[in-house]
Structure 1
Amino acid sequence: MKIEYFKNDKCNVCKAMLPKIQTIAKNFDIDIEVIDIIENPSYPAQKLVFTVPTVIILDEEFEIKRFARNFSISEVINTIERYLEISKK
């Protein structure tokens, strides 16, 4: 499982959310990749990321869930917990 976090350094919401997403990744032992859309514009374009912050949760390169712009930390946690529970069965 992996988290891709798309951000822009001028986005204050991105700055506030990043430590929270990093904590989630650490707590669930999930790899996280932080992508700045200004420094690396081609990758977000390939992933169809049009706004920041965007969080994409992947499992073996398959997208499980995407959160963009307006989302809560609890939504991210619930999605990860639910997927981990389902994948155990």
Structure 2
Amino acid sequence: MKIEYFKNDKCSVCKAMLPKIQTIAKNFDIDIEVIDVIENPSYPAQKLVFTVPTVIILDKEFEIKRFARNFSISEVINTIERYLEISNKE
């Protein structure tokens, strides 16, 4: 599992959310990649990321869930917990 976090240094919400997302990644032992949409515009374009912050949760390079602009930390945690619960049953 992997988290891709898309941000922009001029975005105050991105700055506030990043440590929270990093904590989630650490708590669930998930890799995290932070992508600045200004410094590297081609990758966000390929992923169809049009706003920041955007969080994409991946498993084996397949997108499980995407959160963009207005989302809560609890939504991210609930999605990860639910996915892990389902994948452990298989």
Give the TM-score normalised by the residue count of structure 1. 0.99
Instruction: Name the CA distance, whole Å, in 1 between partners of 2:51 and 2:86.
Output: 29
Instruction: Name the CA distance, whole Å, in 2 between partners of 1:18 and 1:41.
Output: 19
Number of residues of Structure 1 aligned to a counterpart in Structure 2? 89
Residues 39-87 of structure 1, C-alpha deviation per residue, up to 9 Å, x if partnerless? 0000000000000000000000000000000000000000000000000
1:33 aligned partner: 33
SS of residue matched to 1:49 = coil
Give the TM-score normalised by the residue count of structure 2. 0.98
1:45 aligned partner: 45
User: Structure 1: any 5+ residue segments left out of the alignment?
Assistant: none
User: Structure 2: any 5+ residue segments left out of the alignment?
Assistant: none
Instruction: Name the CA distance, whole Å, in 1 between partners of 2:78 and 2:52.
Output: 21
Instruction: Name the CA distance, whole Å, in 2 between partners of 1:60 and 1:8.
Output: 26
Instruction: Name the CA distance, whole Å, in 2 between partners of 1:18 and 1:50.
Output: 18
Displacement of 1:9 in angstroms is 0.1
